[in-house]
Structure 1
C-alpha cells in the first residue's frame, strides 16, 4: 500500500538495494573479460575472471548483515571473506607452534552497533520533538521566517539520523562477522572500516555540502562513482557525468516527483558550491585577510556550517514528503528561497566572474 500521507514501507526498498549489488556484480564480471591494461586500478581490484557459483551469488546477495539497507560491497570482498583471506593469524604463540585466529572484529563491531543505538535514540527524540506533520501545521506557519528555516535544518538533520542508525547497526553486524577487514594503519592497528557507510565527525561538523557527500552513505556514493560516473567519461564532461549519475539515483529510488527534485537540487547546489569555491580561492586578498585574522576564520566557519545545516534540511523536504502537494506546502512557507538562490546562481556567477575575476 502506498499512501505518502505518512512514512511508506515498501517491499521495493530492499529490492533496490539488491539491484545495486547485482548490477555491480555484472560489471565486475564484464571487467574480468577485458585485458588488464584497459582497466583502472579500482576495477582491477574487484574484477572477476570466473563466474561465481549459484550458491555463492545467492549467499552474496542475501548476506544477512547487508541485504536490507546495505552496505554495498563487491563480490570480490565477499569471496575473499568466505575463503578466509581476511582471517587474522597470530603465528607467534609461545607454547604451541600453531596458527591461532584472533577475534579482533568483535569489539569494533559492537562499538559501531552501540553508536547505531545512540543515533536511534537521537532520531526518536528528535522526531518526537519535531515530527514531519509539524512542518505542515498552522503552528509552523506562525513562526518567523528565519526560525522556520532553522527548524527545517534541525528537522532535516534529525531525519538523516534514521539512515545513520540503520547503517551503523548493519555495519556493526558486518564487522562482527569479519567482513569489513581493511588491512592495517601506519601504526599496525587493524582496520575494520572496509564497509564504513558514514563518517560521524565529518558529518556532524560539515561546513560544505561536499562534506555530506563524503561522509554520508559512503558505499553507495562509491558504488555510483565506480559503476556509473566513471563509466560515463565518454561524454567528456564531468557535469554531464554527474547529472546522469544523479538521474540514475533518482530513478533507482522510485517514481515520486520528490526524488527527482531532490537530486536536481543536489546537482545545482554542488555546481554552485564548486564554482564559488574556485572563485573565492583565487582571491588572494580575501585569502590573506582570512589567514591573518583567526577570529574571522572561525566566524566564516560558523556561517558556512549554518548555511549547510539549513539548506541540507531544505533539500530533504521533497525527499521526505515525496508528493508535490506536501512538499510544495513546506517550500512555499519559506518562499522557495533555496530554489531562487541556487537556480539563479549560474546567472549571478557570470556577473561575479565579469567584475571580480
Structure 2
C-alpha cells in the first residue's frame, strides 16, 4: 500500500507539472527542465539504486554512438536485457534489492534505449540505401522517387550523449511509460502541436473514469484478497467450483489496478503535450503519425488533435471484444508496438516468432516463474480459440452468432483469469498450490477441447470432399 501511495503522489505531481512544462518555448530549456524533473522523480524513489539506470544509459549511449550502426541494435538489446536480468538478481549476490518503482523505471528505460538503437539502425540502413542508389545514378525505384532522409532520421544519425540523456530521463513516461519513440520525444520538444492541442481536456477525459477503476480495485480486493487463494482454508473449506471461480475476481482486481495506473501514466503525457498530433496524421499507439505532419506545422492552429500515439490501453475494447486474440491488441498497446517492431518482425524464424516475442515479454516483466506461466501460455490457447472461431463463429449469423460470441467472451476472460493468477502469484510453489487445488482443470479442458475441435474439423473436411465429389458426379 505504501508503494501505491508513493506511486500515486509521484504521478499526480508529474501530471500537475505538465501544465507548466508544455508552455516552455525554448527547446534547450525545455529539454533540461524535463530531464531535471525526471532525475528528481528517479532519485526520490531510487536513491543510490539510480546508479543502475545511469550505468545503463552510459553503456548503451556508447554502444549507439560508437559501435557499427549495422550491429548497434543487437548489442544494445543483449546488454540491456542482460543487465535487466542482473538488476533483478542482485539479491543472490548479497546486495540490497532495488525498490519496486526503480524496477519499473528500469523496464521503461530498457525499451527506450533498445528502441532508440533500432531507430538509429533503421535510419542508417535507409540513408545507406539512398546513398547507394544515388551513387549508381538510379534516383527512382519502380518509377517512383526514392525516399529522402527525414529531419528526424538525420537527428538520429547525429545523436550525442546529451540527446540520449534527455530522451532517457525526461520525466514524461519515466515511471511506468507509456513507451514512445525518439521521434515522438523530439516532436514534443520541437513542434508546436503541444501548444495547440487541448491537453487539459484530454487529461480530464481520462481522469474522470479513474476513480471508478480505483474504487472497484479497492472494493473487490477487500472482498476477495489474492493471498486467500494460497491459504489452507481455501483448499480445505471451499468447494472446487468456488476455488475455480476465484480467478475471476483476482483478474478483475488486476485489470482495475492496471487501468488506473496506465491511464494516470497517459495523463502525464497528455498534460505535457507529448504525443499530440493532428488527427489527419492518423497516429498509432507507440508508432506516432502514419502520415507526414510537416505540411501541418505552418497552420497548426487549424487542426483537431488527438493523443493516439501515447494511448496505451483501450479499456472499452478490452472489456467488450469477443476473443482472446482481439483483447491482446488493446492491452498495453505501446509496449506491444515495441515487441512487434523490434522482436516479432525482426525474429528470423516465422514459425517461432510469436513464442519468441512472448518469451521476451515475459523476460521484460520479470524473473518470476509466474510471468512465464502466464504469458507463454497464450500461444497454446490461441490455436484453440482460432479453431473454434473458424468452425462455429466465422459463418454464424443472427441469434446463433450472438450466443456463440458470448460463449467466446466468457471463455476469453476465463482463460485470461486462469493464466493471470499465475502472473499474480509469481512463485512456483504458490502457482502449483492453486492449480493443484483445482486439479489443473483448465489445462486439461483446453487439451481435450483442442483434440475434439481437430476431430470435428477433420469430419467437416471429409464431408466437404464427399459433397464436392457428389456434385462433380452429378454434373457429369
Match of 1:334? 438
Change in Cα spacing, 1:302 to 1:345, as seen in structure 2 (3 Å) is: closer
Distance change (3 Å), C-alpha of 1:76 and 1:253: same
**Of 199, 204, 213, which residue of structure 2 is paired with 1:105?**
199
The aligned residue for residue 300 of structure 2 is none
CA–CA distance in 1 between the matches of 2:438 and 2:168?
43
Aligned-pair CA distance for 1:64: 1.6
Encode CA deviations 1:253-295: one digit per residue, 9 max, x unaligned.
222221111122111112322233234456xxxx3xx42x42x
Q: Is the 8 A contact 1:113 1:171 kept in 2?
A: no
1:180 is aligned to: 275
Query: What is the CA distance between 1:119 and its match in structure 2?
Result: 1.7
Alignment TM-score, normalising by the size of structure 2:
0.62
The structure with the larger Rg is 2
1:14 aligns with 2:102: no
Tell me what 1:315 maps to: 419
Residue of structure 2 equivalent to 1:251: 363
Aligned: 1:199 with 2:285 = no
Task: Give 1:300's match in structure 2, choosing from 383, 404, 418.
Answer: 404
Unaligned runs of 5+ residues in structure 2 are 1-89, 92-98, 131-146, 283-302, 462-476
Pairwise CA distance, 1:139? 4.7
The total of aligned residue pairs comes to 326
Distance (whole Å) between structure 1 residues aligned to residue 445 and residue 114 of structure 2: 37
Is the 8 Å Cα contact of residues 110 and 176 (structure 1) preserved in structure 2? no
How far residue 9 of structure 1 moved from its aligned partner, in angstroms, is 2.9
Aligned CA RMSD, in angstroms, stands at 2.9
Q: Say whether the 8 Å CA contact 1:153–1:311 is kept in structure 2.
A: no
Q: How does 1:53-202 map to 2 (within 5 A)?
A: 53-87=160-194, 101-102=195-196, 104-141=198-235, 142-184=237-279, 189-202=304-317
Stretches (4+) displaced over 4 A = 36-39, 43-49, 343-349
Question: TM-score normalized by structure 1?
Answer: 0.82
Secondary structure, aligned partner of 1:11: helix
More helix by share: 2
Q: Which residue of 2 aligns with 1:273?
A: 385
Query: C-alpha deviations, 1:153-195, integer Å up to 9, x for none?
Result: 2211221221221110010110011112132269x64212210
DSSP 3-state at the match of 1:60: helix
Alignment gaps of 5+ in structure 1: 3-7, 88-100
Match of 1:25?
A: 116
SS at match of 1:353: helix
Verify the 8 A CA contact 2:197 2:304 in the aligned structure 1: no
